[in-house]
């Protein structure tokens, strides 16, 4: 039983790690702006896209990183060095 749980855990972890590599360039840009603390409206203005488009990208980021909130996405991005911290 324990072995099966460990295998399942590592398979899920590998899936998340492979998904983070699937972030598009635009999703990476949006994630970077999230780390800076910008709102959807501010991100839209910076990247010259609509608020709705930002929201769609953020939802895709959440799915790919397996997180449920902006805070979790930011923490994940920082811990896994997905964005520069300059």
The CATH number of residue 29's host domain is 3.40.50.2300
Q: Is residue 85 part of a domain?
A: no
Residue-level pLDDT at 24: 96
- What does pTM read for this prediction? 0.76
Residue 3: exposed, middle, or buried by beta-carbon count in 10 A (0-12, 13-18, 19+)?
exposed
**Predicted confidence (pLDDT) per residue in 10-69, tens digit:** 555 554 454 667 999 999 999 999 999 999 999 999 999 999 999 999 999 999 999 999
User: What would the two tokens of residue 8 be?
Assistant: 């399942």
Question: What domain range is 49 assigned to?
Answer: 2-79
Per the document, the length of the chain is: 86
Neighbours of 62 (CB within 10 A): 16
| Per-residue confidence band for 75, with pLDDT thresholds at 50, 70 and 90 | very high
Our count of domains for the chain comes to 1
Asked if the structure places residue 86 within a domain, the reply is no
CA distance 49 to 64: 21
């Amino acid at each position: 039983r324990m072995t099966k749980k460990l295998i399942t855990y590592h398979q899920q972890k590998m899936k998340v790690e492979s998904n983070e590599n699937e972030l598009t360039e635009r999703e990476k840009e949006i994630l970077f702006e999230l780390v800076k603390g910008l709102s959807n409206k501010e991100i839209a203005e910076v990247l010259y896209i609509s608020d709705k488009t930002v929201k769609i990208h953020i939802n895709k980021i959440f799915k790919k990183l397996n997180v449920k909130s902006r805070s979790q996405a930011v923490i994940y991005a920082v811990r896994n060095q997905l964005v520069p911290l300059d």
